[in-house]
Amino acid sequence: MNQRIRLLPAVETDPALAKELREWFEEEFGPADRWGAPDYYAILSLEEQLAGRLAILDREVSVGGAIVKVGGIGGVATKPQFRHRGVASAMLSRAAEFMKRDLGVEFGLLLCRHEVSPVYAKLGWIGVPGSTTFSRSGTTATYPHDTMILALAEKAWPSGPIDMLGLPW
C-alpha cells in the first residue's frame, strides 16, 4: 500500500488542510485552544487518504527547576479504519527522527492516558515519575495520567517535578 508521511511547519500548512486537522483534533480531544499550538504536523496518507496525524511542538519545560528543551508530541490520532496497522508508530518514528536531527532536542515529551501508553512504550518512550503541571486559563493544573519521555541523545532525564511552562500538549 502506498504510504506517505509529510512533515509540515504548522504556519505553512495549507489553510484547508489546517482546518481539517484542527477539526479532527477537536473530535478526538476537545477544544483545540485548551492545548498548546502545534509547530509542525506529521501526516500519514495511505493511498492518498489522510490516515494519521500528530503535532510536534518546539518547547521548553522546567524539570526540578532546570530548563530542558523538548520536542513535544501531541494530538496523535489514526482514523478508526486504519488503526492497528502501524500508522501511529510510523508517524512517531518519523517525528523522533525530526526532533533529534532538525530540532536538535535531547528529549521528546508527551502526555497520555495510561491505557494508550503501550503505543509509545513499544517505541522506546518511558514513563517518568513525579508530577507534571501546566497552566491553563490562569490556573495551574496537574496532569492526572502518564507523562512519557523519549531519550534522543545519550543523556538521562533530570529528576524532579515537570512544569510545562504554559499550555499542555
Binding site for ligand COA (CB under 6 A): 28, 52, 76-78, 83-89, 112, 115-116, 118-119, 122
Q: Residue 27 CB, nearest distance to ligand COA (Å)?
A: 9
Give the residue with the Cβ less far from ligand COA, 29 or 158: 29
Q: Which is closer to ligand COA, CB of 85 or CB of 94? A: 85
Q: In the complex, what is the shortest distance from the CB of residue 32 to ligand COA, in angstroms, rounded to a whole number?
A: 14
Considering the complex, what minimum distance in angstroms separates the CB of residue 91 from ligand COA? Answer: 8
Cα(38)–Cα(13) distance, rounded to whole angstroms?
A: 11
Cell of 92: 512517531
Residue 124 beta carbon to ligand COA: minimum distance, rounded to whole angstroms? 13
Q: How far apart are CA 25 and CA 21, in angstroms?
A: 6
> Per 3-state DSSP, what percentage of the chain is helix, strand, and coil (rounded to 5)?
30, 40, 35
Cβ-based nearer residue to ligand COA, 87 or 99:
87
Which candidate, 34, 46, 110, places its Cα nearest to that of 76?
A: 110
Task: Name which of 21 and 88 has its Cβ closer to ligand COA.
Answer: 88
> Do 118 and 129 form a contact (C-beta atoms < 8 A)?
no
What is the maximum span of the chain, computed from C-alpha positions, in angstroms?
A: 47
